[in-house]
Amino acid sequence: MAIIQRSAFVALACAFALSFIALPALANDTLTLKEAWTRATPPGATNGGGFLMITNTGDEADRLTGGSVSGVGKVEIHTMVMDGDVMKMRELPDGLEVPAGETVTLKPGGDHVMFMQLEKPFEEGQMLDVTLTFEKAGDMSTMFMVQPVGATEPKHMHGSN
Ligand SMILES: [Cu+2]
């Protein structure tokens, strides 16, 4: 049993190493990810919102369904809804549609990526290597720049266009 577990671990470690070699590109044939950012989290905070622009130049709609990032237990896709007078966030269980030929902007107060169960706070200036999962395009990696606590928009980012 111990041997089986060990070889499973080695296989996993290999798959992990390979995932770095075959790092998915920022843009595939149809989707482009731009201006991805998040906010520094105060000590003790366990959640953080992630924001970006997703452009679909294809002729079919796609859906952002989830993702993963090291040090984050869970990634969900959220929207904001009014509950009486209070705006609350809610998970989109089927993900967020990115219609053909359109750009969808995830931003504070609207749709967002929810990073949950943070193992440690996000620190200003840090870059998070995030894998986002799309129904058709599959996994795509992009860097989320950590902006100051409470930032409402991304500052000018180097290397973006
Ligand atoms: Cu949320």
If you compute the radius of gyration of the chain from its CA atoms, what whole number of angstroms results? Answer: 17
How close is the Cα of 120 to the center of ligand 1, in Å?
Answer: 18
pLDDT-based confidence at 160, cuts 50/70/90?
A: very low
**Tell me, which fold does domain 25-147 have in CATH?**
Immunoglobulin-like (2.60.40)
> 116 CA to middle of ligand 1, Å?
9
Are 153 and 44 within 8 A, CB to CB?
no
82 DSSP β-pair partners: 87
Q: What is the mean pLDDT of residues 103-114?
A: 97
Taking the complete model, does pTM exceed 0.85, yes or no? no
Distance (angstroms) between ligand 1 centre and the Cα of 115 equals 8
Distance in Å, CA 121 to ligand 1 centroid:
16
DSSP 8-state secondary structure symbol assigned to residue 150: T
Report CA(146)–ligand 1 centroid distance (Å). 16
Burial of 135: CB neighbours in 10 Å, binned 0-12, 13-18, 19+:
middle
113 CA distance to ligand 1 centroid (A)?
Answer: 7
Model confidence pLDDT, tens digit, residues 39-85: 999 988 999 999 999 999 999 999 999 999 999 999 999 999 999 99
Give 15 Cα–ligand 1 centroid separation in angstroms.
30
pLDDT at site 81: 93
Q: What are phi and psi of 132, to 5 degrees?
A: -105, 140
CA–centroid distance, residue 112 to ligand 1 (Å):
6
Task: Provide the pLDDT for residue 158.
Answer: 53
Using DSSP bridges, classify how beta strands 72-83 and 86-91 pair: parallel, antiparallel or unpaired.
antiparallel
Burial of residue 64 (CB within 10 Å: 0-12, 13-18, 19+) is buried
